[in-house]
Structure 1
Amino acid sequence: MPLSNQTEPNIPIVDFKHWDERHGRQQIAQSLVDGCRDVGFVNIINHGISEAEIQEAFDWTKRLFDLTHEEKMRAPHPPGPDVHRGYSYPGLEKVSQVYGVDADREHVGKALREVKDCKESYEIGSEDNSFMPNVWLPEDVLPGFRDFGLSFYWKCNTVAQKILTALATGLQLDSADTLTQVHSGDYNQLRLLHYPPIKAEELEKQTSARMPAHSDWGSITLLFQDDCGGLQVEDPREKGRFIDATPIKNGLIMNVGDMLMRWSNAVDYLKSTLHRVTLPPLSDRFEGKDRLTRERYSIPYFLTPDMNTVVQCMEACKRLTGAPKYEPVKAGEYLQMRAKLQYEA
């Protein structure tokens, strides 16, 4: 799936090519933190996963979603919001920015689900995560898929650990290992996503959605995109206005999640920015009289702290931003709160 070489100018590009050379680390780390402060989203190139490995991941993703519904349902997403693994068919999941007290109101969840999310996904985690055990397809349905999923999961974790080290360096934390020490890798999530073709009119009139505006819950997210387009990021200069996050060939886009925002002391420092998936930006991406969108594939990797980690403002960030904006919270408790309306109980 070839990607465009163009990128939205408002989203910075950070090159990790010289990360392993000691003299280059500080500049890379500072550029990364600056981008996370300004936008909350950063394009990363020379991240450590090869073009061939990215292409293989998209090939497996397409093969997975080309299976029949009956075959994909051999690994169904468990009922309710507590375990996020296996296959979710279009309309099963509902993404939103509603949580806390509002999530306890029955009419809120019902109203959200009146607009269907038109996407399907498959979630993969660590085999050592007893909190969310994996749900695998039988081997004869898609031979080799389990081995691929676990291999790519840990490749992404290696990249994510490097980015965490860069963030700690750029934030001038007490140790470059401050963040990696509470991210074992066992609580991350690899998500394979497919957005089937849909009439552009349904998205324009908001009778259907692809991925509504939301922030990510964890520490950071890494995202690989195909060339279809449609990911948009809220403009940090104008609330409610969204800018296109155009894919970069062989690059990934990294964004700050809620937990890293809390660690760095809320919106005064690193931003957990709203983002969404909607219509692709170019009119020639539509097909036929019904203006069908092209199908879209993407692969996000969500990095999450170990479940018992207490997320609270770090001392180094207090010195920069003042008193903490949020009460301390355990990572597992925060995830459960945010997930409450994601899947119907």
Structure 2
Amino acid sequence: MAQTIIPVVDFASWSSDQSQRQRVAQDIVAACKQVGFVYIVNHSLPETLLEDAFCWSRQFFDLPETEKRKAPHPEGWAVHRGYSWPGLEKVSQAMSEQNDQERVGQLREIPDVKESYDIGSDENPSQPNQWIPKDALPGFQSFMTRFYGECFRVGGEILQALAVGLDLEDENYLLKKHSGHNNQLRLLHYPPIPAEALETEQMARCPAHTDWSSITLLFQDDCGGLEVEDVACPGRFIPATPVKNAIVMNVGDLLQRWSNDRFAGEQRMTRRRFSIPYFLAPDPDSVIECIPSCRTATDPAKYEPITQSDYNQVRASMQY
């Protein structure tokens, strides 16, 4: 059977002349329409910065449990920051307009065996960071704050490319809805578990799901683990084999709504491994409604307008 291939886009030309920028933008948009995922290579995030990010992530997760729990994820779903120990979070595709405790209980019958640490902007009072004490891992907070900003800089360039590829007159159409203060940097660690436990569904890593964001930038270690649903054969998943220093960019729910389903993306993440996703999210009061160039008289808007904060509640209330 034919198998979907995840496209590779060379982003080096984005800083070139207008014709080269247009080509890069069209390549990214084509990948988003065809697969929902794309490898972005030769982006402007320094290789050494990525290496340092994984080094700091390993150091954090190697800390004693007592140290990591000094920055615990706040109780409930409203604040998505701090350390989540194995079993606290359950990733799913479930959505609810109210807290459905029975459904939450069913989802948690198979626990997610992973731990994570979520970081945001220190200028977002509604999502306060939960930093571990500085003396627990000196230099960690300052590095992650810088890395968060660098990821948004690169993510902003990709949002501009998407706008150009969608033939929007203003290349900042999407970027203007993202101040950078509502994004999320996530450090992920998957401890080793028996393969049989996964195969018999006694445990899970990170089951099939879509992201709530506009786009996600994922950095993988050499172990890999990310899988992408094959658009040529729904229900079949193909590995997103790690490409050194590449960003795996995928379409999130909100960009799917913005683009009137022209873009779509679904993923599942399943030896000990690390990954670092960076979620670019619109500001909480941003209204997600169909982009003008993505609707026509014969293809009207499919979704009612919704704010980021309202959509976040629908998804997050089922996760914690």
Q: Does 1:319 align with 2:292?
A: no
Q: Equivalent residue for 2:41?
A: 45
8 Å CA contact retained: 1:264, 1:317: yes
Q: Equivalent residue for 2:277?
A: 300
- C-alpha distance in 2 between matches for 1:96 and 1:9: 24
8 Å CA contact retained: 1:30, 1:170: yes
Q: Does 1:176 align with 2:153?
A: no
What TM-score does the superposition give when structure 1 sets the normalisation length? 0.90
8 Å CA contact retained: 2:4, 2:231: no
- C-alpha distance in 2 between matches for 1:230 and 1:123: 20
Q: Equivalent residue for 1:163?
A: 158
Q: Equivalent residue for 1:59?
A: 55
- Secondary structure of the residue aligned to 1:116 is coil
- C-alpha distance in 1 between matches for 2:248 and 2:297: 26
- Secondary structure of the residue aligned to 2:275 is strand
Which of residues 6, 12, 22 in structure 2 aligns to 1:17? 12
- C-alpha distance in 2 between matches for 1:304 and 1:205: 35
Q: Equivalent residue for 1:270?
A: 263
After superposition, give the CA deviation of every residue in 1:57-96 in whole Å (9 maximum; x if it has no partner). 0000000000000010010110000001010001100000
Cα distance change, pair 203–31 in 1 and its aligned pair in 2 (3 A): same
8 Å CA contact retained: 1:265, 1:321: no
Q: Equivalent residue for 1:109?
A: 104
8 Å CA contact retained: 2:182, 2:281: yes
Cα distance change, pair 321–168 in 1 and its aligned pair in 2 (3 A): farther
- C-alpha distance in 2 between matches for 1:194 and 1:119: 6
- C-alpha distance in 2 between matches for 1:165 and 1:238: 31
After superposition, give the CA deviation of every residue in 1:93-138 in whole Å (9 maximum; x if it has no partner). 000000035x643321101001010000000000111110100000
- C-alpha distance in 2 between matches for 1:86 and 1:321: 46
After superposition, give the CA deviation of every residue in 1:252-304 in whole Å (9 maximum; x if it has no partner). 100000000000002xx111x221112xxxxxxxxxxxxxxx10100000000
Q: Which runs of 4+ in 1 moved over 6 A?
A: none
Alpha-carbon offset, residue 9 of structure 1: 6.7
Equivalences for 1:188-207 in 2 at 5 Å? 188-207=183-202
Q: For structure 1, which segment, 44-53 or 156-165, has the greater mean C-alpha deviation from structure 2 after superposition?
A: 44-53
Q: Equivalent residue for 1:284?
A: none
Alpha-carbon offset, residue 47 of structure 1: 1.0
- C-alpha distance in 1 between matches for 2:85 and 2:100: 25
Q: Equivalent residue for 1:247?
A: 242
- Secondary structure of the residue aligned to 2:256 is helix
Q: Equivalent residue for 1:281?
A: none
8 Å CA contact retained: 2:83, 2:115: yes
Q: Does 1:90 align with 2:67?
A: no
- Secondary structure of the residue aligned to 1:181 is helix
Q: Equivalent residue for 1:81?
A: 77
* Aligned residue identity for 1:332: S
Alpha-carbon offset, residue 321 of structure 1: 7.1
Q: Equivalent residue for 1:31?
A: 27
Q: Equivalent residue for 1:221?
A: 216
Work out the percentage of aligned pairs sharing the same amino acid.
Answer: 53
Consecutive unaligned residues of structure 1, counting only runs of 5 or more, are 1-7, 279-293
Consecutive unaligned residues of structure 2, counting only runs of 5 or more, are none
* Aligned residue identity for 2:278: Y
Q: Equivalent residue for 1:332?
A: 309
* Aligned residue identity for 1:201: E
8 Å CA contact retained: 1:94, 1:116: yes
- Secondary structure of the residue aligned to 2:296 is helix
8 Å CA contact retained: 1:221, 1:257: yes
8 Å CA contact retained: 1:174, 1:316: no
